[in-house]
Structures are given as C-alpha cells and as structure tokens.
Structure 1
C-alpha cells in the first residue's frame, strides 16, 4: 500500500461506500471529495462531508496508518485543525487536533477491491522503463490522445513557470527574458548554462546600443565569454581591440566568463560555441526587439524566415578562432531553428498566455508544435518501437514529458493510460 494509491482511491471514489461510518460509528456521506493539493498542507481541500447529522466543509488528510498523523507532527500544526475527515488504510490510533478534539476517521482497508490494488502493483513494479509497454497495444486512440494532451499541458505549464520566474527577476521585461532564454537554446544543452551566464552579464539594453555594428556585438559577446584571450589572427585581434573599449564602457572586466566554461569536446563543429555565438550576434544585429516580432508572427514559415540569418564573413570560413575551415560554414539549419521554436518560442508563448490570461498565445504555441517535425532522440525512438505514431513535435514533446515525469517516476496513477489499466477487471 502507498499513500499515492490512497489519494487515487479517494479522488475517484474507488471504494465501497455502502454504510460508510467513522471508526467511532458515525454515518458518513461524501458530498464533495475536495481538490487535490500538491503543495504543503492537507491532501484535499474544500471537501464537503456529512458526518452524523452535521455537514462539514474543510480538508481531508490521507495516511496509510492513522498513527502517521502524529509521526508527521500534524497534531502540532494548526494548518491541520480544519481537517474534517482523516482517511486511512488502517486505523491503528485515535487522532486528535492541536486543540485536543478528535478527528473523524474513515478506514478503507476492507472497502477496496483486491483487483485494483493488484493491477496497481503489477503496473508500477514492471521492470520496463515504460511500465505500460506490455499493454500499450491494447490502449485505444482516444485514451492515447487524452494522455498526450495532459502530458503536453503539464510540460508547457512547467516550462512557463520557469520563464515567469525569470520574468519577475527581470522586472517584467519580456524582451530581456526572451533574450536570455534564446541564448540558452543557442547553447544546445552542452553550452546552455554558459550562454545563459553570458546574457546575464550583458543585458539586452547594452546589446541594442550596438546592434547596428556587428563587429562590436561580436567583440562584446566573445570578449565577455572569455574566448579572446589566446586568439592570434587579424580578425580576432580586431575583436580584442573593440572589446577593450566596450569592456570599459560597460564595466565587464570583473564579470568576464572563463574560457573553461565552454565545451567543444565531442561536439560537431556546427555546434561549437564560437560559431553559435557568432550566429547569435548576427541574429541580435538584424532582428531588433525579437520578442515583439515573434508575437506578431503567426506561422512556422515566417518564424523560420526570422531565424534564417547568415553569420559574418569570418564565421562563414571558421568554426573556431585561428582555424580556417576547408568548406563554407553554413548558417543555422532547419533542425536548429525548429529546436529554437520548440524549446524557446513555444514555452515563451505559453508563459505569455498565462501572464496575459489570454488563451490565444497558448493555442498558437500548441499549433506551432503540431506543424513542426518530431524530435529525434532515444526517448522518441523508444515510443516508436512500441508502435506509438509520432507525427509532430506536439507528439514528441508530450512523449518526452510522459517518459521523464510520469513513467520514470512511476506516476501511473496520474496518467490516463495508467488509470485505464488499473481499472481493468
């Protein structure tokens, strides 16, 4: 028995409700189960329960054993004084609130069908990384769609909350916040934190002051990144000279990153941080106030055109300083641009939707995902191997969320597919 299973049983009322009584013998009528609470405090809030002849509105707390109330120190916490019903698997101890009054208790041990508990145990104890893999072929399309919708909604909500936190730290400046988020995506995982640190040191307002001079933008970014210390060729030296002036103007000397923060090992040259910084500089030079521009962009082709920029001449012939490439170095490819749309633009639109309380931006975010090719990675391949069709980034993003935050954590009780399999008789 787990507490999570009891939460599930209570939330969906999967127990025998005939002749419900407290452990003290008073009749119970459940009018409203309450809202599941994922934060601190009692497990369900605003429940409506009739006990005996009195109707109560308050909280419901759930434990495997009643004695856990005292083990968790709830009897010293006034937040639990409004608990109107204590739901337990086993009633092993009479429980009292901080004021000494007894908490009505409902014991479920003999009221839950064995098949429910057995199905739950069989599912969460599966050795496969995706616990429902053995039964996935029997799941109908409606249940699958519902599962994807829920997973994607959760993913967008979580990403949006991170962005809204950053927005608050940036004094509600959307351009600054998106500039920082965009930089992380130019880092493509391995160098994302270094890119983010770079944009925290150089605010967007400083970028705008020099956005009409690409050489100065490159100098500011490369110099602050700590990547101009050992370079030797003429172009690099011109950047060093520009950086010396900008360093003094923006007081960057003590904020400079270290070259060791950037990773080149095991990266394809197209993902070298030097090239990505050059591409980032070009984008900032030719696209002013990019967040506002994105809000006015309603289609994927327009978005791709917005990011279809070619870096400066030097970086069309170099992947890193002092080493000329044998072939012309391309700009941002289609896959890289789609990655930015998926991981920067879509979450930002979701956050903006919550911030403005306007669904149009969330709808647009979801629409963008549905019109982009699915990602290619080990998680998506795993779902495909199980016969799950993956038609767009909507599917791949939802399946990544499902695998990472439902399957890996064995949160089958919160998954529509898991819910369906546990209910099977």
Structure 2
C-alpha cells in the first residue's frame, strides 16, 4: 500500500462517503474534499466538512498511519495548524495540533470497497516491464495524446534546468550557453562532460576572434581538451600545437581539469577528433549561430545550418598521424536530430520563456518532423502496442518510462488513473 492510493481515493471520492464516522465516533460529512495542489504543506486545501453538525473549513492531510504525523514533524509546523481532518489507512495513535487540540481522524480503509482495492493492487502488481503493459494499448487515444503532450513538457522543464544554470554561469550570454550545450552534445555520452568543461574554459569572445580560420578554432578546442600530441610527423598537428601555444599565451588560457578523452567503443565517425573538427567548422561557418538557430522556422532550415563537414586534414584522418581513405565526414541527419532534441529545443524553449514568448506549438511542430528515436525503451513500448511515430512522441514515452513507470507513480499517471476509472 502506498500513500498515493489514499490520495487517489480521496481526490476522486472512490469510497463510500455515506455514514462516515471519525475514529473518535463523531459523525462526518464531506462537503468539499479540497484542492489537490501537490505543493508544500497539507495535501488538500480549502476542504469543507461537517462534524457533529458543526461546519469546518480548512485543510486535509493524508498519511498511511496516524503516527506519520509525528514522523514528519507536522506538530511543529505552523502550515498544519489549519488541518481539520487527518485521513489515514491505519489509525495507530491520536494526533494533536501545535496547540495540543486533537485532530479528527478518518480511517478510510473501512470505507474503500474490496473491488477498488483489488483494482489498485492488480494495476500495481509487477509485470515483466511496466505495471500496465497488458492494458496500456487500450487507453483512449484522446487521453493518451493529451498525456503525451504533458509528459513532453515535463521532460522539457527538466531539460532546461542545466540550460538555466549554464546561462547564469555565463552571465546571461546566450551565445556562450549555446556553445557549451553544443560541445556537450558533440561529445556524446562518453566525452560530453569533458567537452563541456573544455567549452566552459573558453570565453565566447575568444571564439568570435579566432573564427576567421577553422584551424584557429581547432587549435583552441583540441588544445583546451589536451588532445594535441607532441611527438608527431604530420605538419598539421605541429601547426595546431604552435598556434595553440600562441593563443594560450596571448589570452592567458589555462587547461581545465578533465577526464582523458575516450575513443573506445566509438565508431570512427563518432571519434572525438572528428566531432571537435565539426564543431570548429560549425563556428567558422556561422558567426551568428545563436540568432540563426533561434530564427529558424522549419526543420529544413536547421538541417541547412548543420550541413557541414570537417577540415581538410580530418577528411583523410580519424586520429593524428594516421592517414585513412578520404571521406567528407559530414554530420549525419541522425546526429543533427539528436542535437535538435537535446540542445536546440531546450535552448529555444528557455530563450522564449526569458523573452516572455510562447513557442510551444513551434517546438512541437519541429519535433513532429523528426523521426522517432530508436532505443530499447521505444522498442519495448512497440511490443505492447504503443508506436512512436516521431521525436515528440518518443520523448514523451521516455519521460513516461523513466519518471513514472520506473518510480511506480501509477496514480500520478493519466494511464493508471484511466485504467482505474474504467474498472
């Protein structure tokens, strides 16, 4: 039994509320169960009850056991002085307000039907992957579609938290913020944090100054990431080393403390050398990258911005001093899609909010034109009849699995609530 079941029962009045009595034997009538705000303080606000013909208005607190009141130290919290009813599953001790007046208690398990309890237990019994795996495909399409939209924006709200943190660190420099986010994205999961530290060690004004030649940016990026080898035969890395030493001395740069850059388990096109060269080319070609990305009205415009390759040296190399057959090594469409999902969408959302603008429809349209992500979670949903047609839907499903299913939040999920209501 979890406390959220009692919240559900109380909020949706899934109990027999005729002839209610408190544990003290007083007659109880529920006039208004209150507002379920899910904020700090009591669980339900502005409730109204009639207790022995006396009407009371105030708040309702819910717990599994009465003694949880003391476990959570509510007796010391002024926010709970206005609680008029304590709703519990098991009543194990009297409870008192801060002024020592006893709070009426409703032991609700006496009024919940066995059928309602069994439905809950059936829903929350572990299956092979998620609790509702045998029923989720039967949820009304309108309900599920609305829930997906809410899930997407919940996920986006979490994604902009690091955006806002980086913005604060950069003193509200949006160009610098975008550079840091892109660097992390270009580093993928393996080198993302190292690339981010590299990016944060460079003031964006320096990138503006050195963007005239792609080699200057490569020297800056590779140097700050401590990736330029010393004992080499090729002229290009020697030139990078020489130019980096000059830039570092001129601008008094210090290398950040980062983990060694990893090549292991990466396909050659994802090697950090290739990704840094592509990042350097991006900022060499687009001097006003932030404004271009913010103003892009279609997915095609964004694809055009990221239609780029590597510098000449990296067309014939994956590693320093090791030649390979010539290849353009352009950014793939699938990689650009990841950049859009993980960087461009959160940055645009955060920027619009800072400007007081509403762009939800624009962001939804952008993601609806990107193919669905392919991973084990999306594939598993497919086996249960939930197909993802685009990135908007796949992002929603990832949020559903990671933030609700994994944490057994069935009664905070529209799917779980709909299943219980239908039963």
Q: TM-score, normalised by structure 1?
A: 0.92
Q: Hey, what does 1:364 align to over in structure 2?
A: 362
Q: 1:374 to 1:416 in 2, by over 3 A?
A: same
Determine whether 1:132 maps to 2:132.
Answer: yes
Tell me by how many angstroms 1:139 deviates.
Answer: 2.6
Determine whether 1:335 maps to 2:329.
Answer: no
Determine whether 1:155 maps to 2:155.
Answer: yes
Q: Tell me the SS of whatever aligns to 2:135.
A: helix
- 1:347/1:365 contact within 8 Å kept: no
Tell me by how many angstroms 1:142 deviates.
Answer: 2.2
Tell me by how many angstroms 1:175 deviates.
Answer: 2.0
Q: Hey, what does 1:211 align to over in structure 2?
A: 211
- 1:231/1:321 contact within 8 Å kept: no
Q: Report the more deviating stretch, 242-251 or 10-19.
A: 10-19
Tell me by how many angstroms 1:135 deviates.
Answer: 1.9
In structure 2, the gaps of 5 or more residues are none
Q: Tell me the SS of whatever aligns to 1:13.
A: coil
Cα separation, 2, equivalents of 1:212 and 1:27:
78
Q: 1:74 to 1:330 in 2, by over 3 A?
A: same
Q: Tell me the SS of whatever aligns to 1:133.
A: coil
Cα separation, 2, equivalents of 1:410 and 1:397:
19
Tell me by how many angstroms 1:423 deviates.
Answer: 2.6
Tell me by how many angstroms 1:304 deviates.
Answer: 0.5
Q: Hey, what does 2:406 align to over in structure 1?
A: 408
- 1:226/1:257 contact within 8 Å kept: no
Tell me by how many angstroms 1:413 deviates.
Answer: 1.1
Q: 1:245 to 1:311 in 2, by over 3 A?
A: same
Cα separation, 2, equivalents of 1:99 and 1:185:
56
Q: 1:144 to 1:196 in 2, by over 3 A?
A: same
Q: Hey, what does 1:223 align to over in structure 2?
A: 223
Q: Tell me the SS of whatever aligns to 2:61.
A: strand
Tell me by how many angstroms 1:251 deviates.
Answer: 2.5
Cα separation, 1, equivalents of 2:140 and 2:67:
42
Where in structure 2 are the equivalents of 1:293-332 lying within 5 Å? 293-332=292-331
Tell me by how many angstroms 1:51 deviates.
Answer: 4.0
Q: Hey, what does 1:250 align to over in structure 2?
A: 251
Where in structure 2 are the equivalents of 1:157-176 lying within 5 Å? 157-176=157-176
Cα separation, 1, equivalents of 2:109 and 2:161:
39
How many residues align? The count is 419
Q: 1:201 to 1:155 in 2, by over 3 A?
A: same
Q: 1:145 to 1:187 in 2, by over 3 A?
A: same
Q: Tell me the SS of whatever aligns to 2:46.
A: strand
Deviations 1:369-409 (A, max 9, x none): 11111111111111122222221111111111111111111
Cα separation, 2, equivalents of 1:65 and 1:208:
62
Tell me by how many angstroms 1:32 deviates.
Answer: 5.1
Q: Hey, what does 1:419 align to over in structure 2?
A: 417
Q: Could you tell me which of 388, 391, 394 is aligned with 2:392? A: 394
Q: Hey, what does 1:241 align to over in structure 2?
A: 242
CA-atom RMSD, angstroms?
A: 2.0
Tell me by how many angstroms 1:147 deviates.
Answer: 2.9
Q: 1:370 to 1:314 in 2, by over 3 A?
A: same
Q: TM-score, normalised by structure 2?
A: 0.93
Where in structure 2 are the equivalents of 1:99-118 lying within 5 Å? 99-118=99-118
Cα separation, 2, equivalents of 1:252 and 1:394:
41
- 2:19/2:27 contact within 8 Å kept: no
Q: 1:19 to 1:197 in 2, by over 3 A?
A: same
Q: 1:30 to 1:162 in 2, by over 3 A?
A: farther
Tell me by how many angstroms 1:226 deviates.
Answer: 0.5
Q: Could you tell me which of 383, 386, 397 is aligned with 1:385? A: 383
Q: Tell me the SS of whatever aligns to 1:64.
A: strand
Q: Hey, what does 1:282 align to over in structure 2?
A: 281
Q: 1:349 to 1:60 in 2, by over 3 A?
A: farther
Q: Tell me the SS of whatever aligns to 1:350.
A: helix
In structure 1, the gaps of 5 or more residues are none
- 1:161/1:351 contact within 8 Å kept: no
Cα separation, 2, equivalents of 1:61 and 1:102:
14
Q: Report the more deviating stretch, 108-117 or 134-143.
A: 134-143
